[in-house]
Amino acid sequence: MSTKGTKILDSVVVRFVGDSGDGMQLTGSEFANTSALFGNDVSTFPNFPAEIRAPQGSVYGVSGFQVQIGNNEVNTAGDAVDVLVAMNPAALKTNLESLPKGKILIIDTDSFNKKNILKAGYEHNPLESDMLEDYRLVEAPITALTKENLKDSGLGNKDVLRSKNMFALGIVFWLFNRSMEHTFQFLKEKFKNKPEIADANILNLKAGFHYGETIELLPESYTVSPAKLAKGTYRIITGNKALSWGFIAAANKAKLPLFLGSYPITPASDILHELSKHKALDVTTFQAEDEIAGVGAAIGASFAGNLAITTTSGPGMALKAEAVGLAMMTELPLVIVNIQRGGPSTGLPTKTEQSDLLQVMYGRNGESPVIVLAASTSANCYDWAYEAAKLSLENMTPVILLSDGYIANGSAPWRLRKLAEMAEINIPFAKAGKENYLPYERDENLVREWAIPGMKGLEHRLGGLEKAENTGAVSYHPENHQRMVEIRAEKISKLAQRIPDLTLEGAEDAELLVIGWGGTYGSLHTAVKRTNAQGKKIAYAHFNYINPMPKNTAEILSKYPKILVAELNLGQMVKIFRDRFPENKFLQYNKVQGMPFTVEELMCTFEDLLKQ
């Protein structure tokens, strides 16, 4: 512990950056998990390189992990960085602009050799110039000290160097007065079959902590007090893991087996990885040969009586489009999860974006409306997965659930839920032995019954050809086609009467209404809250139900002379609003950089609009 005292902070933003092989994701995750155990509110932002094996030391291979911890509500991973840990010159080159002057910069000086400096695009060693003089620079020979610490470990040089991230983590643990116990246990579990690796990492973690403590790198250490969270049991969870657990919960509540038909694609693959671990919970995962086979298998599983889901990202969503139309036509329950990433084509596979909205709304042949939902935080991905499954099963229709790379890979504290807390799922099963069964006979919500193959007396056929009303027989009759198209559209639109009303945050009597949807919630919520705290009035509405929209949407929009739609695309949701609500004037703020909104840029935009 520093002999010069500990300074208490309300929040802090730390970013770890280095080569893909430097373990920055693990390092950042352990700092976040330890801080969450301490009681801080936490939000994280992993930033992966797109290249699988980028040249070591290159700017293309830099991997980063940013975490904000706070003693109050934390909804983003932060804008400006308070502490930057740069493991090599390329990491410094690509991240220094995010570190304000006067903030802490921790560098592994051993990595600043001539070869790495040139690879990063520097003409001269930045440590030997004045470019870093305005920062609180901590120059630590992390690589050399790691080698010295582990010289008697019996490990090869490669394994020794892999543990240098633990030395860096130890320094940060010292800097913020964090306990190392959780990481000790994590390392023992992770390397339980290789205890010598666990011991080496633990030794190096301790060495980094004591290095900071003994050398007294800075005049003081820091701490962030625990946050006041609602009572309950919490764990840090990523958006993709939360989605997986939400689907398991829904299947359990509905008393159905869960089936996932999927083809691996970044950033959705973690859902397949997670669900494959839970066979004991009646989960079946099928890694298909392509996207079309994945959704086709899911439709087959739905026909057979499963809660069926398929997962993908933008390019895969395009390939699934025809089969989604088939599920809509046959009126079978199916959840399609689209973890949005930067496009078009392969685009920016490891970066975030919201550019698939028009595709999921309209990207199918014929009149093919489906329910569209969007999760908005890493933690509430659980709830929206559950809601997507519930709506699909109860309404016998496909549901497309949107997430994005930011909330899918990011993490936040999530309060564990008991299944008894979750809403009931009432499935419209047909009853075996029913006389005169009509597969397309409907209830007051235009929902048909679900007859599982093998139920006596409920034999019927399904397919992609148009159905005769009620009987489900193939029909080419013009008036019947018109009628069936209208019924399928009305079934979706009637749902607006049964979903929750749109709610407002901020100042309801404001002149400006800000609208967001999906994973931009954290940034927009924080920016609106801070703007209102400055005495400027702004209202905020966030959309999770996109098709249909809540029934009070038009009423709320009518109250505001200025409406700003902010989204990570060039203006897709705003197109939908202009089409559906032509009586309103919509402004737009858009960003397509593979990065989330910053709170600062949003606040500046709000202020400019308020002045107009």
d(CA 159, CA 153) in angstroms, rounded, equals 10
Give the residue-averaged pLDDT of 243-252: 98
> What single-letter DSSP state applies at residue 180?
S
Give the residue-averaged pLDDT of 553-564: 97
Output the pLDDT for position 218.
80
For residue 65, is it left (φ>0), alpha (ψ between -120 and 50) or beta?
beta
Output the pLDDT for position 1.
39
Output the pLDDT for position 3.
47
pLDDT band at 195 (very low <50, low <70, confident <90, very high): very high
pTM assigned to the model:
0.95
416-464 residue pLDDT tens:
999 999 999 999 999 988 888 999 999 999 999 999 998 988 988 889 9
Residue 260: strand, helix, or coil: strand
pLDDT at 525 over 90: yes
pLDDT at 111 over 70: yes
Residue 102: strand, helix, or coil: coil
Give the residue-averaged pLDDT of 551-568: 97
Backbone angles phi, psi at 470, to 5 degrees: 75, -55
Rg, the chain, Cα only: 26
Output the pLDDT for position 79.
95
Output the pLDDT for position 432.
86
DSSP 407-422: HHH-EEEEE---GGGS
State the Cα torsion 96-102-103-107 to the nearest 10°. Answer: 60
338-387 residue pLDDT tens:
999 999 999 999 999 999 999 999 999 999 999 999 999 999 999 999 99
Q: How many residues does the chain have?
A: 612
pLDDT band at 469 (very low <50, low <70, confident <90, very high): very high
d(CA 328, CA 228) in angstroms, rounded, equals 45
Mean pLDDT of the chain: 95
pLDDT at 53 over 80: no
CA distances from 84 to 31, 138, 313, 331, 439 (A): 13, 10, 31, 52, 61
Q: Angle at Cα 143 formed by Cα 119 and Cα 118, nearest 5°? A: 10
Backbone angles phi, psi at 467, to 5 degrees: -100, 145
472-505 residue pLDDT tens:
999 999 999 999 999 999 999 999 999 999 999 9
Give the residue-averaged pLDDT of 391-417: 97
DSSP 396-465: TSEEEEEEEHHHHH-EEEEE---GGGSPP----BPPTT-TT--TB-B-TTSPBPB--TT-TT------SS
Residue 267: strand, helix, or coil: coil
Output the pLDDT for position 602.
98
Output the pLDDT for position 4.
59
pLDDT at 32 over 90: yes
Output the pLDDT for position 390.
98
Output the pLDDT for position 2.
42
Domains in the chain: ranges and CATH: 6-224 (3.40.920.10), 235-421 (3.40.50.970), 428-498 (no CATH), 504-611 (3.40.50.920)
Residue 144: strand, helix, or coil: helix
pLDDT at 566 over 70: yes
Output the pLDDT for position 216.
73
432 or 595, greater pLDDT: 595
CB-based burial label for 257 (10 Å; 0-12, 13-18, 19+): middle
